[in-house]
Amino acid sequence: MQLANQRLRVQKPVAFRRALAIPPAAFLAVFFTLAASGPLQAKTMPALAPPASFSELAARVSPAVVNISTVKTIKGGGRVFRHFKRNPFGNDDGMDDFFRRFFGENPHRKFKQRSLGSGFIIDSQGYIVTNNHVVEDADKIKVILKDEKEFDAKIVGRDANTDIALIKIKPGEEKLPVVKLGDSDAIKVGQWVVAIGNPFGLDHTVTAGIVSAKGRVIGSGPYDDFIQTDASINPGNSGGPLLNMQGKVIGINTAIIASGQGIGFAIPINLARPIIGQLKRSGEVVRGWLGVTIKDLPKDLAEYLGIKDRKGALVIDVVAGDPADKAGIRSRDVIVEVNGRKIKNSHDLTTVIAAIGVGQHAKVGIIRDGHRKEVDVKIGKRPDTRKLAKNRRPHQQEELGIRVTDITPETADRLNLPDAKGVMVSAVEPDSKGDQAGVQRGDVIKEINHRTVAGVADYSRILGNIKSGATVHLFIWRAKAGFLVLKLEK
C-alpha cells in the first residue's frame, strides 16, 4: 500500500518533533461525583480519584528502562549539519555560527553527533525496544542500566515506517530485569498512564498523566495510530515506555508537538508487538502491498458516486505489474471493503493491507462508475521506501531537489492553510535548484506554469511534461507571506 503522500520520502511536519524541548506539563485533576436520577430513586456513582502513589510502579518497572547513548558521524556542513548538530540540552554556545560567518563551511569536515534516548528490556536475552530515530545511522550504541552498568548494543532491526527499532546487548551472567507488554486496545481515554525515560539525560525520570486520545494521525508515516497523553515527554524520552497502572507497557513514547504543552504521542504496543516479533526473527518487517496510490474520498466525488457516508479510499494511480493492476483495479476506483472489513479511509486501507500476509489472496470490494464489484487480489510484498525512491524518475524529486506530500484536511486545519489543495514541500535538498530558487519546507505549491496542482500525482505529471532546461514557475502559498511566484530552470 502506498499513500499519495508517501510517493516521495517525507519528513515529519514542522509542527511535530521527536525529542524537542517543551516545558513539563502541569497536572490539574478535577474530580466530580456523578449522580443518576430516576423517577423513584437517585443513585450516586463513586467518585474517581487518582492513584495514591506511583512509587511502587516506578520502583518495579524502572530497572527495565534503559538509557541509550549514540554516536553518529556527519560529514560536511550547511543546513543539513546545523539541523542535526543541535544537542538535546539546547545550550548551543554560538561558536559554530561565528566560524561559519567568518571562515565559511568546511564540506569535508566530519562531525560526531551524540544523542540520548530511552528504551526498555523485553526479555532476559538482552533485547531492547526503542525508536528508530534514536539509533538510526548510529556508529556506536551504548546502553546504560539503572545500576549504571554499561553495555555495547547492536541493531537487530529497524522499521522506519513506524519508528520502531530492536537492539540487543550481551548481558553475560547479568540477570536482566524485564518489562511486561500490556494491551493498548484495552486502555481508555481518561485513564492514568506513566512515562519513564531519560529526558535531557536525567535518567529514570517518572512522569504521570492520562490518555488524552487514541488513534491520532499526526502525519509521521503511513501507519500513524498514536496514543495521545499529557504525561510529560521531553528530549531523551524517545523510545521509553508508556505504562498502565499495572506497570505493563501500552505504548512507546515517540513524539511531541513543539509548540504545545502536555501533548505527547506514543506508538500503541499492539501495533508494535508484531513488528518487534518480525524484527527479532528476521531483522526486517514484511508488509502486504497492493501497488496503488490512494487518498481519502473527496466530498464532491463521494456525492457524484452516490457514496453517502464518504467511506473508502480513492485510487489515484495503479503501479503497472503490481497486485492491484493484475487484479484489474483502476484509477478512480473506490476501495470500500477488504475481506469483509469496511474501509473508512486511505489510512485504514493502508493498515489493513499491510497486515495481510504476502502471497495471500484478499477479496477487495470496489465501487466503479457507481457500481459495486469485487476483485480477488494476490497480496504482494511492500517494497522498501528507499528502493521506491530509487525507482522514481529523477525529475519528480531529485532534479529539483524538492520533496512534496499531499495535504490532508487534518494537515490543512492544523497549519491553518487556506484549503487542502496543492502539495506541501516536506524537504528541500541543500544547493539544489529548488533551494537556489528559494523554495522552503512548508511551502504549498498551488500551480506549476499556470497548471493547477491538486496533489502529488499532478505535481509529478506536470513536471514530467516540462522539458529539461525549460523555465518552471512555481505559484506557492507561504505562511506569513501569502502567495509568491518562484522561478527556476529545470
254 or 92, higher pLDDT: 254
Confidence of residue 28 (pLDDT cuts 50, 70, 90): very low
Mapped onto helix, strand or coil, the DSSP state of residue 265 is strand
In the set 115, 118, 133, 460, the catalytic residue is 133
- Band the pLDDT of 49: cuts 50, 70, 90: low
In one-letter notation, the amino acid at residue 121 is I
User: Which cell is 225 given?
Assistant: 495510530
Same fold for the pair 64-169 and 288-381: no
Read off the pLDDT of residues 205-218 as tens digits, 9 standing for 90 and up.
999 999 999 999 88
Among the listed residues 115, 212, 220, 238, the single catalytic one is 238
Find out whether 170 and 151 touch, Cβ atoms under 8 Å: yes
| Fold classification of 179-282 (topology level) | Thrombin, subunit H (2.40.10)
Residue 163 falls in the annotated catalytic set: yes
Model's pTM, two decimal places? Answer: 0.61
* CATH code of the region 288-381: 2.30.42.10
List beta partners, residue 206: 196
CATH number belonging to the domain at 392-489, selected among 2.30.42.10, 3.40.640.10, 3.40.50.10300, 2.40.50.140: 2.30.42.10
CA distance 233 to 181: 20
Q: Cα dist. 384→156, 379, 391, 405 in Å?
A: 17, 16, 11, 18
Considering only 57-66, 111-120, 157-166, 380-389, which range has the smallest mean pLDDT?
A: 380-389
User: pLDDT digits over 144-197, tens only?
Assistant: 999 999 999 999 999 998 999 999 999 988 899 999 999 999 999 999 999 999
Provide the pLDDT confidence category of residue 243 given band limits of 50, 70 and 90: very high
Task: Indicate if 238 belongs to the active site.
Answer: yes
Instruction: Please say whether the beta carbons of 283 and 216 come within 8 A.
Output: no
Does the annotation count 133 as an active-site position?
yes
3-state secondary structure of 458: helix
Q: Which homologous superfamily is 64-169 in?
A: Trypsin-like serine proteases (2.40.10.10)
**Domain coordinates in residue numbering, the chain:** 64-169, 179-282, 288-381, 392-489
